[in-house]
Amino acid sequence: MKTIQAYRFALDLTPAQARMVLAHAGAARVAHNWALARVRAVMDQRAAERTYGIPDAQLTPAVSWSLPALRKAWNAAKAEVAPWWAECSKEAFNTGLDALARGLQNWSDSRSGKRAGRPVGFPRFKSRHRSTPSVRFTTGTIRIEPDRMHVVLPRLGRLKLHESARKLARRVTNGTARIMSATVRQDGGRWHVAFTVEIERADRSPDRPDSVVGVDVGITHLAVLSTGELVPNPRHLAAAQHRLRGLSRALSRKTGPDRRTGRRASKRWQRASARLARTHARVANQRRDGLHKLTTRLTREHGTVVVENLNVSGMLKHRRLARHIADAGFAELRRQLAYKTAWNGGRLFVADRWYPSSKTCSGCGTVKSKLALSEREYRCATCGLTLDRDVNAARNLAALAAAEQPTAGSGSVAGRGANHKTRTRGQEATKRQPGTATAGKTGTVPPQGRTTDRALARAH
């Protein structure tokens, strides 16, 4: 099975190499801003001419937004716009032009309705102080040195790594991997290189192919499995909150930049800002590492994994729980499960957003009309089952996938109708709307308000 995978390594650059990489990132920003200014000038000119009643055939000719057209225009003007262009690789300018071409295409598709999701805004100019330095190489010499502690990139030369790249080097040597591109990016005060690799992965199967596990994510516990296992929530952001507050107060006492007066930040402000950024990066790395370990274990052990389609964006609007929900990383957990189940030969199924997993009794199937968020134990009035509400929800998810008898692959699992209203067992038999017993509507956007409360009740 061929797939696209990324390998990311931290770089150990000398001061001269860091300045050279930063210069390439600045060249990408210059090309992006120049092309964007050219596109906006033509669009504004055409809009002004339309107000004068000029016919469309006589308007200023439009500018093509494609990458080849933008690259051709840049090559014609780079001698005047950037006389130093020969000092940087052509890939640096191509990085900025490619980002602009993608942004304009996404904005156009969003306006015409071809792109799903939230509306995409028009591209903005990149600032050297607020944008993330990044440059992408797609051509030229891109390789890993035999010692596996150095990489070679065009114009940047031989760069040292903080860790060994033996895993990627073995695949490249064996012919099961092909490096497509390399992206150098500054993140958390440290430079990283990420290789986009086409990999030929061997077919694998989980240790227990017939096993079905339901995963109920939450805040008290990061994940509750239908097997009864409780995965603790490490709360990395809460653990680092004391240090973050101290660093933020120290930063506020330094002389920072001021856009209104043009004042530059002091050296002490820059050092304090770097310390704060490193702390945030450490929290993000800890969260990512924990999620990777959990998802890898689940996908390698179980043949079928079932999760809920939670409205995370709506849950983040809850002012008291938003920080804890963001710290848990619900969306990242589901994203990793999606591609790792495919890698390991398993299946991922997403229960409908309106499936009442917490309100349904895992013993007899009775559905409660209401279940307060403060009720941490599920008590069934019909069969007398008393169980932790999260374990009960995880068992319902596992039973839902087993009842559907899914085929190979990933997809959605139908709930019990999912008509945005929880009914009791008797009401469901008489009031179920026709045609609602189909696959879950994972792409729909439920009404605001009730979505947040119900999703929080399932995730807490």
Q: Which residues are catalytic?
A: 216, 308, 390
Query: For the chain, how many residues are written?
Result: 460
Q: Which of 24, 7, 3 is nearest to 182 (CA)?
A: 7
Paired strand residues for 159:
151
Q: What is the rounded distance in angstroms from the CA atom of residue 451 to the CA atom of residue 460?
A: 14
Q: Which amino acid is at 409?
A: G
* DSSP assignment letter at 317: T
Q: Which of 384, 380, 383 is nearest to 360 (CA)?
A: 380
Q: What is the rounded distance in angstroms from the CA atom of residue 278 to the CA atom of residue 188?
A: 5
Contact 324, 235 (CB under 8 A): yes
Q: What is the rounded distance in angstroms from the CA atom of residue 47 to the CA atom of residue 188?
A: 42
Paired strand residues for 7:
195
Q: What is the rounded distance in angstroms from the CA atom of residue 173 to the CA atom of residue 459?
A: 45
Strand pairing of 386-388 and 2-12? unpaired
Contact 247, 279 (CB under 8 A): yes
CB count within 10 Å of CB 445 equals 12
CB count within 10 Å of CB 104 equals 19
Cα 201-10-272 angle, rounded to 5 deg: 145
CB count within 10 Å of CB 147 equals 12
